[in-house]
């Protein structure tokens, strides 16, 4: 065998090996127009996002207002006779 033939054969073997390995990785697939989960979806970590305001600004504003009110109450309590 000459060098070009061996190189071509080696590249084909590598390509087939990569193709075979990628088919065993458990990625999402599409069948009949549907996106199906991986084969390991039962073992995946569950992500839970509690209901609430998705904007952080109102939460931060409320926390800042509560902090200022507590500080004012502490000042008024310390300054009272």
pLDDT tens profile 31-59? 788 877 777 777 777 787 777 767 778 88
Contact 53, 65 (CB under 8 A): no
CA distance 28 to 80: 67
pLDDT at 80 over 80: no
What pLDDT score was predicted for residue 35?
79
For the whole model, what pTM was predicted? 0.32
Contact 28, 36 (CB under 8 A): yes
What pLDDT score was predicted for residue 64?
95
């Amino acid at each position: 065998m000459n060098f070009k033939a061996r190189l071509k054969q080696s590249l084909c073997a590598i390509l087939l090996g990569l193709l075979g390995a990628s088919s065993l990785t458990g990625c999402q697939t599409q069948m009949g127009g549907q996106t199906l989960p991986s084969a390991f979806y039962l073992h995946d970590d569950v992500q839970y996002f509690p209901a609430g305001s998705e904007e952080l600004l109102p939460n931060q504003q409320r926390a800042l207002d509560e902090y200022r009110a507590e500080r004012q109450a502490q000042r008024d309590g310390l300054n009272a006779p």
